[in-house]
Amino acid sequence: MRGVLQPSLRSAAVSPLADRRSPAGMASARTNALTYFTSGSNFGMSDGRELTMEIVFRLHGGGTQNVMATGTPGDTYWQIRNSSPPHSIRWNLENDAGVQGFNETTANLLSQGTDYQIIMSCNIAAGTNDAQIAINSSDSGHSFTITDTLIDFTAFTNWGIFATTSGGGILNADIYRILMHDGYLDLASNVSTFWDAAEGKPQDYGSDGSGLLGVQPALYMCLNYQTLSDWDSGINLGSGSNLSRQGPAFGIGDSLFA
């Protein structure tokens, strides 16, 4: 059953967000199902059992579309599916045992033309075994199969962002923000960290993205802190390397959560 995650305070190690408000309107870049990024690095992430990913976007078009995908090994990807089942989220993690990490396959979670913040976080260590997905602050009603082995970040030296590394399944969307880091956040206990309930929209993480996890993430791009030209050039505001644009320039997208 899908329900609203209840907010609570973060641990004392991370600054509270009471003085921060989400932008009034979130500028976005449009892929038009033509444009994506690649990277020949793993953004400095180390093998471990924790991972957080987020995208803030408006979905357009159908088909199976990729938010992120690795090249070799090719079993790590985050997809929005058009089938099996439709409008679902599929999140696979390659690990050192070569075993799939977990999948979210609940049908009809997403609709075209709707603004979404999708945030996923996991800690697959034995004794924790936690993986969560929140969609606009709500628990997705997911079910996961979790394997306690290291996520093989050091093998991921070839990434596609908004597509596969070869340009397959390009995401057709207006995109405000993308984030990835080898860290974990208990989403159910920290809703106010990523969602501004008063405004009904995602929180602002600051110019370096540290507002989410308390550290600068490995990958962080956000049009509240970048021009469209910066975004188009693949400038990573996170701690990892920059990206390379493939295809034509990004278009100007709609203002999200306005």
pLDDT of residue 19: 33
- Do 245 and 227 form a contact (C-beta atoms < 8 A)? no
Query: Please, which pLDDT band fits residue 17 given cuts at 50, 70 and 90?
Result: very low
What residue spans define the domains of the chain? 29-249
φ, ψ dihedrals at 120, nearest 5°: -125, 140
Q: What is the largest CA-CA distance in the chain?
A: 46
Domain 29-249, architecture per CATH: Sandwich (2.60)
Contacts of residue 211, defined as CB under 8 A and 6 or more positions apart, other chains included, come to 15, 17, 20, 193, 203, 204, 205
Q: Per DSSP, what are the bridge partners of residue 39? A: 159
Interval 118-170: pLDDT, tens: 998 888 776 677 788 889 998 765 656 566 677 878 877 889 999 989 999 89
Query: How much is the average pLDDT of 91-106?
Result: 60
pLDDT of residue 25: 74
Predicted TM-score of the model (pTM): 0.86
